[in-house]
């Protein structure tokens, strides 16, 4: 046990290897290609391969091949083993020294029923996808959820085609505005129960932990703002993004929150992000 623990800690002690590991943790359960990892972290392809090989050898990540492409994902069981080994080895199992229940992924508390949940959707620009999600949730289940959205860019503005799409669906667009994530990180910000990223770039960014440890999820999808072609083709991209988010949020609002503990809820939310959850709840 001690050799395994020290090997894994030694692997993670390297700042850039830790950076790769942290990125894959933020994107779990998604798989990322070596190219995307290197691009996000600005690491040369050859160096990225070396770091990935070291993390694989330590058992901290897994590799999956699709044709000629390799994809990587965090080995969550190994991550749990590192924490468990530290608890048993360094703390000698004493809960007063380093209680495992202080770790979010080891909690098994039930989600409070019959409450109004605060939900924040985060994207880079807060101009389309996150605005879609905020509006859909507000109008679909505003009696049970308070919906918010924000972007990580310093400044942004609502995309005209996004506003047009929402208005065509009968949503009230007069209340919409583009917001920065800093608005929801101050002491007077409403405490969040759920935080969802809806674009890969926002999910890749290293953000400070949210107060109260809200349940988080990544529901990434292509950016309709980047669509090219005719105006009709661009509008189709916005329509597809709206439809995908509407489907996911419909499934989310139908979850049996009063019967799910935190771990089970996290599993359902991850599945929604991969469009892999059954509609039969």
Residue 19 sits in a domain whose CATH number is: 1.10.10.10
- Name 265's Cβ contacts closer than 8 Å, sequence gap at least 6: 111, 215, 255, 257
Give the model's pLDDT for residue 104: 42
Residues 214 and 189 in one domain: yes
Residues 85 and 144 in one domain: no
Query: Residue 86, SS3?
Result: helix
Number of domains in the chain: 2
At 176, list the tokens.
């919409």
Model pLDDT for residues 247-267, shown as the tens digit of each residue? 999 999 999 988 888 888 988
Measure the CA–CA gap between 35 and 163, rounded to whole angstroms: 34
Give the model's pLDDT for residue 207: 65
278 part of a folded domain: no
Residues 141 and 256 in one domain: yes
Residues 73 and 199 in one domain: no
Q: Which pLDDT band holds residue 69 (cuts at 50, 70, 90)?
A: confident
In the predicted model, is pLDDT for residue 70 greater than 80?
yes
Question: Is the model more confident about 275 or about 235?
Answer: 235
Range of the domain at 138: 117-273
CATH code, domain with 242: 3.40.50.2300
Which residue, 49, 81, 106, sits at the end of a domain? Answer: 106
Residues 259 and 152 in one domain: yes
Question: Is the model more confident about 275 or about 180?
Answer: 180
Q: Which pLDDT band holds residue 76 (cuts at 50, 70, 90)?
A: confident
Give the model's pLDDT for residue 93: 52
Residues 125 and 237 in one domain: yes
Model pLDDT for residues 129-182, shown as the tens digit of each residue? 999 999 999 999 999 999 999 998 878 899 999 999 999 999 999 999 999 999
Give the model's pLDDT for residue 16: 92
* DSSP per position, 244-272: HHHHHHHHHHTS-GGG-BHHHHHHHHHHH
Query: Residue 7, SS3?
Result: helix
Mean pLDDT for 181-200 is 89
Give the model's pLDDT for residue 89: 61
Residues 125 and 182 in one domain: yes
216 part of a folded domain: yes
Which residue, 106, 125, 154, sits at the end of a domain? Answer: 106
Measure the CA–CA gap between 37 and 43, rounded to whole angstroms: 8
Residues 30 and 141 in one domain: no
112 part of a folded domain: no
């Amino acid at each position: 046990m001690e050799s395994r623990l020290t090997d894994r800690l030694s692997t993670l002690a390297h700042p850039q290897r830790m950076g790769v590991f942290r990125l894959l943790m933020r994107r779990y359960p998604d798989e990322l290609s070596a190219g995307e990892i290197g691009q996000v972290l600005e690491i040369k392809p050859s160096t990225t391969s070396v770091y990935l090989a070291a993390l694989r050898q330590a058992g901290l990540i897994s590799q999956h091949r699709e044709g000629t492409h390799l994809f990587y994902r965090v080995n969550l069981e190994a991550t749990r083993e590192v924490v468990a080994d530290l608890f048993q080895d360094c703390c000698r199992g004493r809960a007063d020294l380093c209680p495992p229940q202080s770790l979010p992924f080891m909690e098994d508390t039930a989600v409070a029923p019959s409450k109004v949940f605060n939900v924040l959707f985060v994207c880079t620009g807060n101009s389309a996808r996150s605005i879609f999600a905020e509006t859909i949730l507000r109008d679909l289940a505003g009696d049970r959820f308070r919906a918010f959205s924000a972007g990580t860019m310093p400044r942004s503005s609502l995309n005209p085609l996004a506003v047009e799409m929402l208005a065509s669906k009968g949503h009230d667009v007069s209340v919409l505005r583009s917001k920065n994530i800093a608005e929801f990180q101050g002491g007077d910000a409403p405490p969040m129960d759920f935080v969802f990223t809806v674009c890969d770039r926002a999910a890749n960014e290293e953000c400070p932990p949210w107060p109260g440890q809200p349940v988080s999820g990544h529901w990434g999808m292509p950016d309709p703002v980047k669509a090219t072609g005719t105006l009709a083709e661009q509008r189709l991209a916005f329509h597809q993004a709206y439809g995908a988010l509407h489907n996911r949020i419909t499934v989310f609002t139908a979850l049996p929150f009063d019967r799910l503990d935190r771990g089970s809820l996290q599993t359902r939310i991850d599945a929604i992000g991969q469009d892999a959850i059954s509609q039969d709840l």
